[in-house]
Structure 1
Amino acid sequence: MSVHPLSAAQRRAAIEKRQPTWVPRTLSGALDAACEEFADRPFVITEAGTWTYAQLRDWSARVAGGLRDLGVGRGDHVAVVLANDAEFVAVRYAIARLGAVTVPINVANRRDELGFIVRRSDASVLITMDSFRDLDHLTMLDELLGDWAGGVAAAAAPELRHVVVHETGDPRPGVTTLAGLATADPVHVPVGEPDDVADILFTSGTTGEPKGVQLTHDMLLRTAYGSTWGRAYTDAHRVVFSLPLFHVYGYVEGLLTVPFVGGCVIMRRTFDPAAILDAIEAERADDALLIPTMTAELIRVQRAAPRDLSSLTHLYSSGGVSPHGIWPEIDEVLSPGEVVTGYGMSETTASTTCTWPEDPPERRMTTNGRMKRAGVAGDPAMDGRLVEYKVIDTATGEDLPFGSVGELVCRGWGVTSGYYRNLEATAAAFTADGWLHTGDLGVLDPDGYLHLVGRTKDSYRCGGEQVVPGDVETVLARHPSVHQAFVVPVPDDRRGEVGWAWIVPREGHTVDAEVLVAWCTENLARFKVPRHVAEIAVADIPLTPSGRARKFLLAERAVGLL
């Protein structure tokens, strides 16, 4: 097991010594500050190469100059469709340098999804890859915008004026390219204030229409610092991940954390377990950011073909239901010294609860971490936290005591002020006294540790009794044939709704519906036992960027098979 020679407390003290007080900055201001100390250290490593802090700063300053020449200024919105390339990092800091707002878009979005976000976000410029995997983004734009190469004037996106193409394949003549932007005179002095909105992240949530979450520079940096301090990063900490930069997990917990200690991110465009393990070995990574399905795949591949993972001292596995037994397997097969899990969402900037490296193993097995303190970045009025939680009754809205199941609501410096151009959704998202509805069911204990139970919108009534799918999924995941389980409601003439269990079997096993129904019958109240059980492959599970199953799509698929 790779155990760090310094305790977590000693490492936190070193971080505090480097930054004894909180200095509010913009994102580009934070990069400039990091360059003063770490200019020649590697900051970003991809399959294409390595870039130092100074190289990324200078590159982003030139891209900012190119955007300035297109008319982008403070408060303008720039939509971005880029994968985990160094170009995304340069673009994001360039937009921040101008005091403009980044609108990151999922690279897997289809034409209408792309058009919706560009239109709803009021983006004046779109920076996009020409293609990604089997998606041709330029053809999508042709269908949405018509002849856009020389400028845009389309009803489909009335605020859009320019499209900039990051060329990865065959060039298209006449388009403005990202490489061309980077030849402009640089913007050296950052524009804007720490409390300005830096990002509008459109949720691709488990239910409903995407909503634009507004996050400020200061929210992002405070949250990132809180993770750096709480997880006790070392000097020059190296983090590997393939989580997309258009989502807060990879963006905040990865890219924005390492500048506080002069570390680097080792990014991969897509998740391939062998490639991630190879990157840990080749780049001597200290840390990996994963969702549970990724963690399980790393364990499987490492068992089959072991790599040298002796550099790995940290691991963060969060963002979904963990398969039964995965924590001991992490310790046995991947052997990082410090393994944590947590909970968060776009609306809270990133993770707001996390187990501590010092916590006993049962904490990560039984909880989703405790409400996170953020060191000098935290709110003194909330014991150094950025976000605090309480549990309320889903029917009455009344506060519930510790140990009770209810909806988690939260407030604090790390919570969004609302959704862009969506007053109705913003009003619905908050209680009358200003707490944000998370939509998650959970339990808090007196020590501030959280245990997630499920989603309020996932629960259903079978014969008048409320069923929380998480209860059923936990029981199913304990069966030796089950790798993962996802329970959704489907209509039933007699009981109103019954459960449909989608099962990902363990390697070497198959799904036996009768056996699993019998297992549930032995361990659950009758109304919780799923009526239907079916097999599904991991690749067929529709996921949000944070790794949560989009259950409304699983429910639609189940209904189609009735």
Structure 2
Amino acid sequence: MARMFRDRHADILKRHPVWRPRMLHEILDETAAESPDRPFIITDAVTYTYADVAERSKQAAGGLAALGVAQGDHVALLMANHPDFVWIKYAISRLGAVCVPVNFLNRRDELAYVLAQSDAKVLITMDRFRDLDYLGMLDDIAPGWESAGGGDALPRLSHVVVRPDAGAVRDGVRTLADVYGDAPASVNSDAELVSDIIYTSGTTGQPKGVMMTHDMLARASFTSALTRGFDDGWRVTFSLPMYHVYGYVEGMLTAPWVGGAIIPQTAFDPAETVRAIVEHKAHDVLLVPTMTLAILEHLKASPTEMPDLVAVISSGQRSPKGIWDEIRARFGDVELTTGYGMSEVTATMALTRVGDPDDKLRETNGRMRDAGPAGSEDLRGKLVLYRVVDPQTGTVLPDGETGELQARGLCVTQGYYNKPKETEELYTADGWIHTGDLGHLVEDDYLVLDGRLKESYRCGGEQVMPTEIEDVLTAHPDVMQAHVVPVPDARMGEVGVAYIVARNGAAVTEDELVERCKNSLARFKVPKHVLFIHQADLPVTPSGRARKFLLSDRAIRELEIDA
């Protein structure tokens, strides 16, 4: 039986009573010295202890140093949730270099953009993943990369290192096995160095590289372990990619604070997730609501006891209100949390509290996190504060009124790499950042997300918030997801198109959903079109949010609208 949250929370505070700034590899080394034989990475095939990961990271750092990587250099890492990802991350930290994790679903032009925009000196990449051939992409981007690096196309890229999958290795290719070497000399510890440049999800356009320091990531991951009440040896499973802040900060970086383990999966599958929870005795699972819904469908068909599971966090996108009752019915008596965050604030900076009444899960997106020793008195013991501002006047609004959420604090980025204009636009004159999200604050530091500034639209001069329509649609029992986007309309200026992901076996129709909206919403809010889409065809960010600008483009093509 799991210990009570308050006891687990208290033990973390005893273990870490004061905040000591440190680099990420130093946190790993402290745990490896204290508990060398504890598992850190658990897979179906092999388990790696803290001592294993620390040693492999030192060897990888030696190999990278031999390639000329030094403090401040940028190393791009194109890797699924393989164990190599973890020790390479820590290897880059040991050199004082900067990791540029790359979305492994990127296509050729997207990969070329990130490599060029980030000034990557070295690329470490898989040779392929699923149907993606990364070496073929490199052949197109920079012919001769095996010996010449990036050539004229990517002049800063000196070396490419390949993690080969099954099969023969191409002649002339430098592999991971070729770059392991003796541990390099340690860099001077400086937690204010930039550790990562993590590219934004890009729901509204071209990704931007968010700069994060070691201290930001350390404080954020510690606060996650504290507020979720990690016990000694806590095990977390997830398929969320570690190139994204959710899987990285809430997953990989949290475990060392309590000598815990991660159980990473390279792809999401509901049955495999349940199996991993059971077989590897996971205490915690990280999900986005689309994953949660898929697991609920699986558990409905194949009920499974998960006796070791203590906690479920389902966050990262808007949740259907009925999801929480269904989780309790299918998962059993687990601690449920949901939250709100973004790359620019180093992950989840608002989270419901363990033990909150269910109305907090249904009606809010979490409470500004109390960070214990990692927090600041100037921030009321938190890492990040939020305020709500009128987008037109800039007036700070009282609780209950909707406006743009703005943030400031210890975990707010210094800006976007190599994008001075966008960095300047990110900040307000008094030092807060624009989130681009619409929301409002309620009592006791809870916040409610109401939508995106750039996703609202005007139909016949009336402002429409897609989230209001989506809530009506997802309340239908046959609707798994609903995403409402605008398209041009000659008479109304813009009208709504609702993309629907239906549940398996559902027979819901377009007319039925339109009628449902007519009965619940003002006429200008009723979507003009309802289109059905398979979940696999839905363009999403790494955190599972729909890329709505791509859905708008798709709707324009499908409906043959003259844009």
TM-score range, shorter chain: over 0.9
Q: Percent identity?
A: 52
Q: CA deviation at 1:464?
A: 0.4
Within the alignment, does 1:203 sit opposite 2:213 as a pair?
no
Could you say which residue in structure 1 is the equivalent of 2:536? 539
Could you say which residue in structure 2 is the equivalent of 1:286? 283
* Other structure's SS at 2:454 match: coil
Unaligned 5+ runs, structure 2:
none
The partner residue of 1:381 within 374, 378, 382 is: 378
The partner residue of 1:477 within 474, 478, 492 is: 474
Letter in 2 for 1:133: R
Within the alignment, does 1:435 sit opposite 2:422 as a pair?
no
Q: CA deviation at 1:322?
A: 1.3
After the TM superposition, which residues 179-198 of structure 1 pair with which residues of structure 2 at under 5 Å, given as runs? 179-182=177-180, 184-187=181-184, 189-198=186-195
Could you say which residue in structure 2 is the equivalent of 1:59? 56
Letter in 2 for 1:98: L
The partner residue of 1:22 within 19, 24, 43 is: 19
Q: CA deviation at 1:151?
A: 3.3
Query: Would you say the 8 A contact 1:315–1:336 is kept in 2?
Result: no
Q: Distance in 2 between matches of 1:301 and 1:505?
A: 15
Could you say which residue in structure 1 is the equivalent of 2:419? 422
Query: Would you say the 8 A contact 2:150–2:159 is kept in 1?
Result: no
Could you say which residue in structure 1 is the equivalent of 2:161? 164
Could you say which residue in structure 2 is the equivalent of 1:346? 343
Query: Would you say the 8 A contact 1:511–1:535 is kept in 2?
Result: no
The partner residue of 2:99 within 91, 102, 123 is: 102
* Other structure's SS at 1:223 match: helix
Q: CA deviation at 1:188?
A: 6.1
Query: Would you say the 8 A contact 1:511–1:534 is kept in 2?
Result: no
Q: 1:153 to 1:334 in 2, by over 3 A?
A: closer
Within the alignment, does 1:43 sit opposite 2:47 as a pair?
no
Query: Would you say the 8 A contact 1:503–1:511 is kept in 2?
Result: no
**Superimposed CA distance per residue, residues 424-468 of structure 1 (whole angstroms, 9 cap, x where no aligned partner):** 111111111111111111111121111111110000000000001
* Other structure's SS at 1:447 match: helix
Within the alignment, does 1:450 sit opposite 2:447 as a pair?
yes
Letter in 2 for 1:347: E
Q: Distance in 2 between matches of 1:479 and 1:492?
A: 27
The partner residue of 2:353 within 341, 351, 356 is: 356
Within the alignment, does 1:178 sit opposite 2:158 as a pair?
no
* Other structure's SS at 1:149 match: helix
Q: CA deviation at 1:153?
A: 4.8
Q: CA deviation at 1:39?
A: 1.1
The partner residue of 2:550 within 538, 550, 553 is: 553
Q: Distance in 2 between matches of 1:112 and 1:47?
A: 34
Letter in 1 for 2:535: V
Q: Distance in 2 between matches of 1:153 and 1:317?
A: 40
Q: Distance in 2 between matches of 1:289 and 1:267?
A: 10
Q: Distance in 2 between matches of 1:191 and 1:335?
A: 48
With 424-433 and 170-179 compared, the bigger mean Cα shift is at 170-179
Could you say which residue in structure 1 is the equivalent of 2:514? 517
With 303-312 and 350-359 compared, the bigger mean Cα shift is at 303-312
* Other structure's SS at 1:457 match: helix
Number of aligned residues: 558
**Superimposed CA distance per residue, residues 106-162 of structure 1 (whole angstroms, 9 cap, x where no aligned partner):** 011011110110111011100000000001101111111111112325222111100
Could you say which residue in structure 2 is the equivalent of 1:257? 254
With 317-326 and 448-457 compared, the bigger mean Cα shift is at 317-326
Q: Distance in 2 between matches of 1:192 and 1:100?
A: 12
The partner residue of 1:4 within 2, 7, 20 is: 2
Letter in 2 for 1:528: K
Q: Distance in 1 between matches of 2:3 and 2:116?
A: 52
Q: Distance in 2 between matches of 1:188 and 1:155?
A: 33
The alignment's TM-score, normalised by the length of structure 1, stands at: 0.98
Q: CA deviation at 1:9?
A: 1.9
With 531-540 and 261-270 compared, the bigger mean Cα shift is at 531-540
Q: Distance in 2 between matches of 1:278 and 1:240?
A: 11
After the TM superposition, which residues 83-98 of structure 1 pair with which residues of structure 2 at under 5 Å, given as runs? 83-98=80-95
Could you say which residue in structure 1 is the equivalent of 2:215? 218
Letter in 2 for 1:451: V
With 495-504 and 509-518 compared, the bigger mean Cα shift is at 509-518
Query: Would you say the 8 A contact 1:461–1:497 is kept in 2?
Result: yes
Could you say which residue in structure 2 is the equivalent of 1:461? 458
Q: Distance in 1 between matches of 2:320 and 2:268?
A: 18
Query: Would you say the 8 A contact 1:441–1:452 is kept in 2?
Result: yes
Q: 1:77 to 1:192 in 2, by over 3 A?
A: farther
* Other structure's SS at 1:485 match: strand
The partner residue of 1:235 within 227, 232, 236 is: 232
Could you say which residue in structure 1 is the equivalent of 2:141? 144
The partner residue of 2:296 within 299, 304, 325 is: 299
Letter in 2 for 1:492: D
Q: Distance in 1 between matches of 2:485 and 2:367?
A: 28
Letter in 1 for 2:493: G
Query: Would you say the 8 A contact 1:97–1:191 is kept in 2?
Result: no
Q: Distance in 2 between matches of 1:191 and 1:203?
A: 30
**Superimposed CA distance per residue, residues 517-546 of structure 1 (whole angstroms, 9 cap, x where no aligned partner):** 111111111111111111111111100001
Q: CA deviation at 1:510?
A: 2.6
Could you say which residue in structure 2 is the equivalent of 1:247? 244
* Other structure's SS at 1:62 match: helix
Letter in 2 for 1:222: R
Q: Distance in 1 between matches of 2:148 and 2:66?
A: 14
Q: Distance in 2 between matches of 1:459 and 1:22?
A: 41
* Other structure's SS at 1:288 match: strand
* Other structure's SS at 1:461 match: strand
Query: Would you say the 8 A contact 1:312–1:337 is kept in 2?
Result: yes
After the TM superposition, which residues 478-493 of structure 1 pair with which residues of structure 2 at under 5 Å, given as runs? 478-493=475-490
* Other structure's SS at 2:407 match: strand
Query: Would you say the 8 A contact 1:347–1:416 is kept in 2?
Result: yes
Q: CA deviation at 1:477?
A: 1.1
Q: CA deviation at 1:5?
A: 3.2
Q: Distance in 2 between matches of 1:222 and 1:92?
A: 17
Q: CA deviation at 1:191?
A: 4.4
CA RMSD of aligned residues (A): 1.1
Letter in 2 for 1:58: E
